[in-house]
Structure 1
Amino acid sequence: MLDVTGLTAAYGESRILFGIDLHVAQGEVVTLLGRNGMGKTTTIKSIFGLLRPTGGNICINGRDLTGAAPHLVAGAGLGLVPEGRQIFPTLTVQENLQATATKGKWTLDRIYDLFPRLSERRRNMGNQLSGGEQQMLAIGRALMTNPRLVVLDEATEGLAPLIRADIWACLARLKAEGEAILVIDKNVDALTKFADRHVVIEKGRVVWHGTTAEILSTPEVKDRFLHV
């Protein structure tokens, strides 16, 4: 599905990533963990062609798309829920969803079934939604591209606990339906309830990776690399 090997990236003269390896298989949920500023979002930007890598390889469904333009990455089957949501503020909920729609199993009706609140607010503008509703919309918009892999950058950042629970329930449902997911978030305890594997980044390098059973049995990983 997604195979990232030896990925390096920089902003100008400042190197950020130093050989990231990351793999997501069909139907698998993988988390990308680490403190703020350790390279998680830079990794996502590099995968999606928003930042050109300085080295390494990015393969999607067997195709080498290292440094490819964002529309080619999307066309290969990756859907992004970006940090900050970035919905269209002057389009309605329904227009936001229709803007990215492609043919496939994810339709308006299925999105509204997944997020009934969006159905209730379908005629509201994007800038009239709460933060939680905007995140639901961002997830729905990504699903409307009918991706083979959904990538969420900071899935629940800044959301109230009840809304976070809704997002976790949504991701658990997506996994049950066979969706492949790569998720960045800080709520490790919530992620371990449904994720298969975890990759921890520190200063642009992978410092630990393993299964949910392994991270639960290795509390020092959280203490050393994930606590502020």
Structure 2
Amino acid sequence: MLEVEGLEAAYGESRILFGIDLTVRQGEVVTLLGRNGMGKTTTIKSIFGMLKPRGGRVSVDGDDLTGAEPHRVALAGLGLVPEGRQIFPTLSVEENLRATARRGKWDLARIYDLFPRLHERRRNMGNQLSGGEQQMLAIGRALMTNPRLVVLDEATEGLAPLIRADIWACLTRIKAEGEAILVIDKNVDALTRFADRHVVIEKGRVVWTGTTPEILATPEVKDRFLHV
């Protein structure tokens, strides 16, 4: 499905990515791991066309989307839950959900079933929600585009432990629906409970890839590349 090959990116003269390779297959959950500042968000921005790659290739089912405008990437079936949530603050919860909706299995009823709190707050403005509610809304908004792949940049950053648990439970339900997921988060223990494969990057390069059993059996990966 999603294939990233040799992806290179820079901000001005400062190179950030040096040949990132990763794939996400249909129905698979893949994590992108690494310490802060190692290129995870830059990888996501480059995939979605928010930052034009300097080299490499991004494709979905063989369709070359390298450097495509974000709306083209969305139309190809990628839905983004961005770092910082970036919901529309002066639209209601329901207006946020409808803003980018496309027809498909994910509709308002299913989003409200997944996140009952959003149904309770459906008439509240985006800026009236807690951080956890905003993250639920950002996930729901991405699902309302009926994507083939959901990409989450910092899935639970800054959230209270109970809210984090709710988010992980919802992502597990989304996986059970057959959705492909690419997720960035610092909670490796939570990620290994539901992800299939992991890609670890260090200073803009892939330094390790493997399955969940493999990363659990290789604690030196966490010690070397993921601990602060």
Aligned residue number for residue 32 of structure 1 = 32
1:205 aligns with 2:202: no
C-alpha displacement at 1:59, in angstroms?
0.5
Distance 2:180 2:77 in 1: 11
Query: Partner of 2:215: helix, strand, or coil?
Result: helix
Q: Is the 8 A contact 1:168 1:190 kept in 2?
A: yes
Query: Equivalences for 1:187-202 in 2 at 5 Å?
Result: 187-202=187-202
Q: Is the 8 A contact 1:148 1:180 kept in 2?
A: yes
Distance 2:27 2:138 in 1: 21
Distance 2:198 2:170 in 1: 19
Aligned residue number for residue 43 of structure 2 = 43
With structure 1 as the length reference, what TM-score do the two structures score?
A: 1.00
Distance 1:114 1:122 in 2: 14
Query: Partner of 1:109: helix, strand, or coil?
Result: helix
Q: How many residues align?
A: 228
With structure 2 as the length reference, what TM-score do the two structures score?
A: 1.00
Q: Deviations over 1:86-128 (max 9, x none)?
A: 0000000000000011000000000000000000000000000
Aligned residue number for residue 54 of structure 1 = 54
1:146 aligns with 2:146: yes
Q: Where does the alignment leave 5 or more consecutive residues of structure 1 unmatched? A: none
Q: Deviations over 1:4-53 (max 9, x none)?
A: 00000000000000000010000000000000000000000000000000
1:70 aligns with 2:70: yes
Query: Partner of 1:16: helix, strand, or coil?
Result: strand
Query: Partner of 2:46: helix, strand, or coil?
Result: helix
Query: Equivalences for 1:95-134 in 2 at 5 Å?
Result: 95-134=95-134
Distance 2:78 2:101 in 1: 14
Which residue identity lines up with residue 204 of structure 1 in the other structure? G
1:221 aligns with 2:221: yes
Which residue identity lines up with residue 84 of structure 1 in the other structure? G
Distance 2:52 2:23 in 1: 19
Distance 2:74 2:220 in 1: 37
Distance 1:166 1:208 in 2: 29
The runs of at least 4 aligned residues of structure 1 exceeding 2 Å deviation read none
Q: Deviations over 1:148-203 (max 9, x none)?
A: 00000000000000000001001111111100000000000000000000000000
C-alpha displacement at 1:62, in angstroms?
1.6
Query: Partner of 1:22: helix, strand, or coil?
Result: strand
Aligned residue number for residue 15 of structure 2 = 15
Query: Partner of 2:20: helix, strand, or coil?
Result: strand
Q: Is the 8 A contact 1:32 1:184 kept in 2?
A: yes
Q: Is the 8 A contact 1:61 1:76 kept in 2?
A: no
Q: Deviations over 1:190-222 (max 9, x none)?
A: 000000000000000000000000000000000
